């Protein structure tokens, strides 16, 4: 008999707790939708690169990148990629697969883990290791050893600003 009373009281308390609705049910004609961009270019795909030893008139024999066909098909097309901001100098940034402490310059990664950024419009103020998502036109470079292998041009920040 005592258990029956205990269960009845517990059931009544649970029903009372879950029956209160604090949300207002109002009709809304305007709904805000959050747009989420998924990366159309991944660091995994950028990492699928080979190198070919060729002669260079300035540096002698060096390794040139051999860009995979999937990336070649993206040349000049709009892409979205996320990564960490790496400042190069006062006027240039790169986006990296890794944070600054594990970036290409520190010897922990290869050059395929960075992309040079050319922003559309004014240069934004960004912080080292700030995680951002960029949208812009993809360009690869497989011939100029003084330049990045990958670039994102006319880039705009879509998240992480």
pLDDT tens for 87-115 read: 988 889 999 998 877 766 666 677 888 99
> Rounded to two decimals, what is the model's pTM?
0.71
Whether residue 76 has pLDDT greater than 90? yes
- In the chain, the largest separation of any two C-alpha atoms, in whole Å, equals 97
Q: Given this model, what pLDDT does residue 21 score?
A: 53
In this structure, the dihedral spanned by the alpha carbons of residues 44, 135, 38 and 150, taken in order and rounded to 10 degrees, is: -10
**Distance of CA 138 to CAs 34, 49, 62, 115, Å?**
25, 16, 25, 9
Q: What is the mean pLDDT of the chain?
A: 80
Question: At a CB cut-off of 8 Å and minimum separation 6, what does 53 contact?
Answer: 61, 62, 63, 64
For range 39-54, the mean pLDDT:
88
| Least confident span in 14-18, 42-46, 91-95, 152-156 | 14-18
Q: Given this model, what pLDDT does residue 16 score?
A: 56
**Cα separation of 97 and 47, whole Å?**
10
């Amino acid at each position: 008999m005592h258990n029956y009373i205990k269960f009845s009281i517990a059931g009544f308390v649970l029903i009372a707790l879950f029956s209160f609705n604090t949300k207002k049910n109002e009709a809304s004609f305007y709904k805000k939708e959050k747009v989420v961009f998924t990366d159309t270019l991944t660091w995994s795909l950028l990492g699928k690169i080979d190198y070919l030893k060729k002669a260079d008139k300035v540096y002698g024999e060096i390794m040139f990148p051999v860009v995979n066909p999937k990336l070649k098909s993206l040349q000049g097309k709009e892409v979205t990629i996320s990564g960490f901001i790496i400042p190069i100098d006062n006027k240039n940034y790169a986006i990296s697969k890794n944070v600054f402490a594990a970036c290409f310059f520190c010897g922990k990664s290869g050059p395929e883990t960075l992309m040079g950024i050319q922003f559309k419009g004014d240069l934004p103020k960004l912080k080292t290791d700030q995680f951002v998502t960029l949208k812009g036109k993809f360009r690869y470079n497989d011939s100029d050893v003084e330049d990045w292998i990958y670039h994102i041009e006319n880039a705009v920040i879509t998240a992480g600003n």
